[in-house]
A and B are shown apart, each in its own frame.
Chain A
Amino acid sequence: MKQTQGRLVTAVSALALSAALGAEAWAQTYDEAPQLAERVAAGELPPVEERLPAEPEVVTPIESIGTYGGQLRYGLRGSSDHNNILRMVGPQGLVRWNMDYTEVIPNVAHEFEVNEDATEFTFHLRPGMKWSDGEPFTADDVLFNMLDLVFNDEFAPTPPRYMTDGTPATVEKLDDHTIKFTFTAPYGDFLAELASPLGQHPVLYARHYCSQFMPAYNDQIDELIAANNASDWQNLYLAKCGDIEIPARWGNAERPTLDPWIISEPYTGGAVRVVMERNPYFWQVDTEGNQLPYIDTLLSPIAQDVESLILDAMGGRIDFQIRHLDAAANRPVLAENREAGGYEFVEASSVGGVNMIINLNLTHKDPELRELFNTRDFRVALSLGMDRQSIIDTALLGDGEPWQQGPFEEHPNFHEQISTQYLDYDPDEANRLLDELGFAPGADGVRQLPSGRPIKFQVDVIPTLQPEQVDMLELIEQYWAEIGVDMDVNALERTFFYERTSNSNDHDAAVWGGQASWVPGEIPQQIVPVHHDSRWGIPWSFWYNSGGERGEEPPASVKQRMELYDQARATVDPEARRALIHQIADIAAEEFEVMGVSKAVPTYGIVKTNLMNVPPAMPSSWYYPTPAPTLLTTWYWAE
């Protein structure tokens, strides 16, 4: 693991170096895949120098310069798995995360500038860059995306990431290759928001193609709607051009993109496989001037269930896969078949935090339980009343380390108090605290509230999400019974769970994954309730997200954290931002609202042994999103 990190860091510094040397690469001629060279010779494509932008991104592969050819197979599921494609192809936004997930670097834009108070963001596009059909990509495309779609309420409400204080950004075209976003207030997190998979909107749609599906650009739109059996232009538009997170994004082979591979067999209802072929106009080259990607084809057979995906992996019919395969339960069978399948493990490193975080509902509808859960000493007693190490040994097979929440020691955002307080197993102290609160045990050993009501509540959990959560909760149930607290594990179907907890706030308590490193772009929902996964204060998150119109006004300590969170999002300087996040963490640590059990441990996917330039470990996060920033364009097959 240590070695791995060293290698990752070298790779990234090499990347930075290559960016500096980019100008040098400009002068040289470029090489291309043999199949593209054939098409050039046949007169079907312009030569590679004309297809690439004047300054393509020069990428240094982490191991070696590759060779062209081959296909990369990964398994898709038949439904709701479109984001798997997104993670493989990568969200090709203006900027992206570097390989280490520590810094936002240019992507589609070849450089960017931010003014001092983080209200103006200027992006320089690459002159000569083209869409996958050969049409030029310019600032007009960005304007089209922002003005005609993102800010067009008829299409969809404007995502908050393009607004400050409820006012949308102003987007201007300075010249054909320069675009400026101006916000009414400082917005330091904007770059991180753009680097997240949800931040691709500014460069998602090709104006010359997608505008034909909008009434503003097409007089005959009604005929087009009728011809396509669509219900209205929005439906037609989504069917043809997709959106970031809907399957239709991968459903139309004609839609021009900026992606390294483009759809040739689409992902539609009932498809048996999805095929993507290289984009002849892709805008990255390696340090020797070979146009990327190396690999010709992404081929994903569609398996309806995970079991047959595992069979595919064992049979060597999958080349790379983390998603769906990385459940701990699959590890033995995958390990056993390593040789037969010709693969090895690839580590999906946890970014920080815990696999299971317990959220007591501090905004419970029942006043008595609400008062109980809001009693800090009660929560402390619960935390001291469970033997984390033995839970880890039993339910997690020893894989883990007692932890409350938040980033790990080696992360710059590490906050000691919030992650390590009240971790010791001390049932005597827990009993003392509960005695002091006046909760005397009844005849059955269950402590009672002053009203005589026994202390009894349910913890909601989705058993299919992470099966070990149920095992952990069942052990916790036993430990808490010993200190006179009657907890029941309430396993729920996932949609019902969502409905009951995040929508209607009907739960006593719930558990959820608590991976967190509090970097920009990630929502720190366990230290400030601003998200529907903050199941300890759902009405407070409604209040925050609706600007005070819905939900319930939170207490002063929560309000203060919400203000600090807004400030942190506005701050561009990483140190100043960290200080603000730590202020939030200080308050959250003092309040001690949520508790965890064990550090989130890495999970393992598989990668073929002769697939090169794949880092042996990569951060596992949706915001990153794994594995895209490890640059699949540089992966290649060893001879």
Chain B
Amino acid sequence: MKFGETIETSAKELPAEWQPYLIQYNSLKKNIKSIVEELDNTFRTLHLPTSSTDTAGSQTESGEQCEYDVGHDTRSTDMCVDAEEARTATCAQLPEVVAYNIEKDNDGLVHPVIVVKLHKHASNHCEQIVELPDIAGLPKSTSIMMPSLAPPHLVDSAGNVVPNSRLVEDVEEMQVTVRLQSDQMFFVQLMNYIERTRAFEQSYTQQYTSNVSSLGSELTFVTSPFKHDFQVWREIFRLYLDAEVWSHAEGDLRPTNTAREGQDRFSKFTRHIEAIGLTRQFRDPLSAKLLVSFYKLNSELTYMKLLQEMNELATRKIIKKHDKRTHLIAKTQFPQLVTFDTTTLTRALIFTVYTELVGIVPQINDYMCPMCLNIAWRPLRLECSHVFCSRCVVKASRCRMFNCPVCRSKDAIYKAGVSNVDQALLNFLKLYFPKEIKERQRDIQQEITDEETGAIVAIQSRNRPCIIM
């Protein structure tokens, strides 16, 4: 499939009001065609050997930095003859250097410039500025500085012919700067697309953040530990965290997966929620409504990532096409003028979702005892501020482990006592994880009973002599 079609199909996936912010690949592609034409014409009027930029597609993919296929053009000699008849009589010569530069001026406008350097040629050069027709919206820099390669004279305002050998006398080499209108148009348009999208992203981010905040404040109602739906929401968010819609390195929420992968994972998550019927457990109708908003915010996030990815790809592709067709290599220069970043914005948005929505509901994993990997039962805070179950601390000290198991802080366990019980955390956990705490309590009770029976059995068996039947 052609990329132009690919981008159009992708566009259809985006919400309608987002579609204009995709880079219009096909219209840029048309521009390239006119660049090729203008390039061809310009070089013909300049009597430089035309570059073999055939639109027919016979491009030689040299891949080198700005290579005009100069010198291999048999037409150049023919043109000289024509030129002589048209008062211009210079043989086209091989340019020494042809450079293509893209510059950005202070107003942020981009100017692509072709600089052709020629060896000093016989004698008859002069400079001439040819004004090209001005096109609305473009800066006036649409002139061509070119050597009039032929008559060693200029026509002055009065119409007299002025000999003009003086101008080139001490010029060692000739430099011609060509500004192609169509090329400039191409870049202005491309930049416009990019900037417009950027502006959209900015306003979108603001709106998104405020949407998240308002959803967050509504969520606090239904996720209060005194409400029934609290447990359901906790399960939903736990599954959401497990689904890892956006994978990222530890401690950095920069997504490392693509929008498509994110989309897949997210729809897997919603299907799972559906399958296990969590939504049917909601009692408050508000919960169902909020879940829909939560879904919506998430899918918008994937759209945003998709838009950014498509635009980045489209820019890369169109520049590649531009380079291939015109042989003016922008591939290395253009990316320095604009930066594409498909992760920073999404990272910021993901961060807001995590902290302001998912983070509202405490998850058990954040209150684990590192020793038993279960909820910290009667949490004890050591002097190094690491938290463990009271029971685990007792067990560790029985095994003569006195340092903190996490940070090895010396004698932290040894020094710990009843005063180290974190009462606030204990109440918090009781409130938010009543089921888990109860279960844990039962387990520990069982464990203690087992231990005691074990001890009694041990004493009994020690006192009883071995009986051989």
Q: Do A and B come from one complex?
A: no
List A residues at the B interface (Cβ < 8 Å): none
